[in-house]
Structure 1
Amino acid sequence: MALISKNKMVIYVLVAMMIVFAAGCGSSTDTRSDSADSQAQTNSDTTTSDAAPAEKVDLTISAAASMTDALNDIKKTYETANPNIELSFNFGGSGALQKQIEQGAPADLFLSAAVKNMKPLVENNLIAEGKEKTLLKNELVAVVPENGKAAVAGMEDLDKADVKKVAIGIPESVPAGNYAKEALTNVKLWDALQSKMVQAKDVRQVLQYVETGNADAGFVYKTDALTSSKVNIAFTVDPASYSVVEYPIGIIKATKHSKEAEDFYNYLQSKASLDVFLKYGFTAAE
């Protein structure tokens, strides 16, 4: 009987050990299962994150008023192809825009109608290094109202009695006005026309003055004249009488969106953009 009891005891111990072992295996399996489920959830979360739409970026571009129509055309195409980008334009006289940038106004790119307004920004380290170049060229013309009565065919006609008002951009802040002043000075008419001068904040305001008959003639770029059915080009100003009209572009060093700004900077130099500029009367820089 003692032998049988001892054998039973051994059997009980073995059974107990098997039960404990089985329980441990089950726990390990559950742990691996829980770990796999957790990893699957992590992978799922990562996939969801990767598929999330890109953050919206608002780029602010300070640009010469004479580029208004061309840039608004480019804006439509670019935003359609890059739905996470919104282009906000600040149009005005290049001199005024230069001052705004110097005073810390927010901007990501600057498109000027004169090298003289870009150069100080480059020299003062406000333009990103190596991210500035001349993009376009333009030419100066004199326009008259579509139904204007004054006969204007050349610079000398602006001094005639039937020409009462001549519109011009403020020479100190509007490149087109400065170019016009150069040309008028070269033909010795600047001083003679002072009593007739009506100064405007940018070239588009000059165009408006002529369109509405508030000026009998005005100096604008060829590109501006081509946008209006309310004016006629009276004559093209002799290009030898004023500085070459060049449009430099540059990325503002303080931009908070350097990659997006550079992408748009490069796009403005692409064939697609140049074709739009050419359509509006600009010529590509050599």
Structure 2
Amino acid sequence: LYLLDAFFKDSSVFSSVAKNNINIVEYIIMWLSYMLNLIKNEQGNSLEYFYDIYIKNHEKYTDSITSVDAYYNSYKDLIDKKNDLINMDIKYISKFYDAFNTLCMMYIEFNEKTLHCSNCLQNANKFVNKYKEMNQNSVITSNNSYAQLLSTLSNDYDNFKNYCNSKGVNCTNFPSLATIEEIQTLEKNSEQLSAHSSEQTVNSSLQDSEQIFTQSSKHIYTQGSEQISEQRSTQAPEVTSPSSSIGNKLFTVLSVFGAISFFLGISYKYSLSGFRKRAQKQYLREKIKNIKKRMNHSYMIRRE
């Protein structure tokens, strides 16, 4: 609820972004899934039970949002637009949040005064590895909702690289993300090469077999490279996220989101451990408030 308030309730800084970037709701659901995954859930492995108990009929979620009521009726309406995420397995959504958290750290640690952002590069490598791991998971890639989350993360990673380049920071050494189709093509070619390799071993005494294998391998490698090039050229116009049009605003959003979710995560862990100290909660509130003020100030400077 706090994250929804931060981006959608009476916020002059984020209202224009929230109107055009509903992916923020995806990130909020990722964060909630991650937090719920930290505790034992006897009601199932999805967010559905949480939605039914705390969101569906709760006035704080069903009341109209005054700042963006022309676009969304309520927080519940916002969440319902991403209803497919509610029924997904928490443990898988948590994997997405892990990658998203790394992406947030890239935005938070970015410094346009530094030509080479070493911390950003380290986080970029971590992000790409996490993304690759999910992209190779058939359970994830075969599910349309999971695939959409992968697309959202991929687009915002590319947006970060574009933002860096626009600020004169060298991001050419940042690793690129392979698409699902590229990975499947490479795996298929690898299997074909392996099959030919086995055939060559069995018929190693025959010189003709060795020549056939060499020619086939070259053909497969060339064909695979051409397929990947064609896929990249044909997919490029389609990989357009709503977030790609908001430029600098997205940078501010993810920076604030990362900072707020980080401190909320600390508060949540304290509550799970039973340490409900008022001083600690007040400290966290002040921290979040100061972060939002700094980010608001940064946003206004960029806007000018």
Query: Is TM-score (shorter-chain normalized) higher than 0.5?
Result: no
**Range into which the TM-score falls when normalised by the shorter chain:** under 0.3
With the length of structure 1 as denominator, give the TM-score of the two structures. Answer: 0.23
Which structure has more relative contact order (CA 8 Å, sep 6+)? It is: 1
| Rg larger in structure | 1
Higher strand share: 1
